[in-house]
Amino acid sequence: MPVINHNIELKDIKLAFWLITETEQSLIDACISNNIDITFLSKFKCEEHRKEKLAVRLLIASITNGNFNLSYTQQGAPILENLNSAISITHATGIAAIAISSNKNIGIDIEKNGRNTIKLRYKFLNSNELESIAETDIGTNLSAWTAKEALFKAIPENEIDFAKHLHLIDPSDKQYDAYETRSEQQRQYNIVPFNISNYTGSIAIEK
């Protein structure tokens, strides 16, 4: 089981990462041996997507001892129907990750290092963020992108504009604050950036 060890310690939140190195059949066999439903596979034509979905279910099983029922809302947000817990799921080429919390809305996102989001920065960063993050800094722009994606997943509202509604306060490689202006509540969040293996990611945790 290629679960990646990590040192990210967050209260009341369980994290798990899977480096996907197996064949699809190996992942299918692992799911079957853990009594995990795989009937969803026929919905996905791409083998890499199927492998990501299988790895996600194996991660959930590792945290819940196999006692879970994963479904999705009409908007595509994951739900653990039989558990009173929030879940967020992410995957990038060669990796899958999940975050589960029993008492907080959360989001997680991960991207492979080297992805260049600089051309997108004017679409997902607001004026303050554009000023504080250097245009030439590929790593910080990528980290900010994952933070916005994680925030997007943590917020229940739809029709979210990343630059207009999601706000990062002094983004850095350490934990920092963020908030949203999409809802009347204007919820506040902690952003926890991380690097694991050859990937950059962020976790958004509602305060």
pLDDT value, residue 65: 86
> How do strand 70-72 and strand 188-196 relate by DSSP bridges?
unpaired
Tell me if 4 is assigned to some domain.
no
Better-scored residue on pLDDT, 132 or 66: 132
148 and 202 assigned to the same domain: yes
Tell me if 5 is assigned to some domain.
no
Q: What's the domain range around 68? A: 13-103
41 and 78 assigned to the same domain: yes
CB atoms within 10 A of CB 168: 24
113 and 185 assigned to the same domain: yes
User: Poorest-confidence range of 17-21, 65-69, 122-126, 188-192?
Assistant: 65-69
44 and 122 assigned to the same domain: no
Residues of the chain above pLDDT 70, percent = 100
Instruction: Tell me the C-alpha distance between 133 and 45, whole Å.
Output: 38
Q: Is 170 left (phi over 0), alpha (psi -120 to 50) or beta?
A: left
Last residue of a domain, one of 86, 103, 120: 103
39 and 58 assigned to the same domain: yes
26 and 82 assigned to the same domain: yes
pLDDT at residue 205 greater than cutoff 70: yes
pLDDT in tens, 35-92: 999 999 999 999 999 999 999 999 999 999 888 999 999 888 999 988 889 999 999 9
- Please report, for the domain that includes residue 58, its CATH number: 3.90.470.20
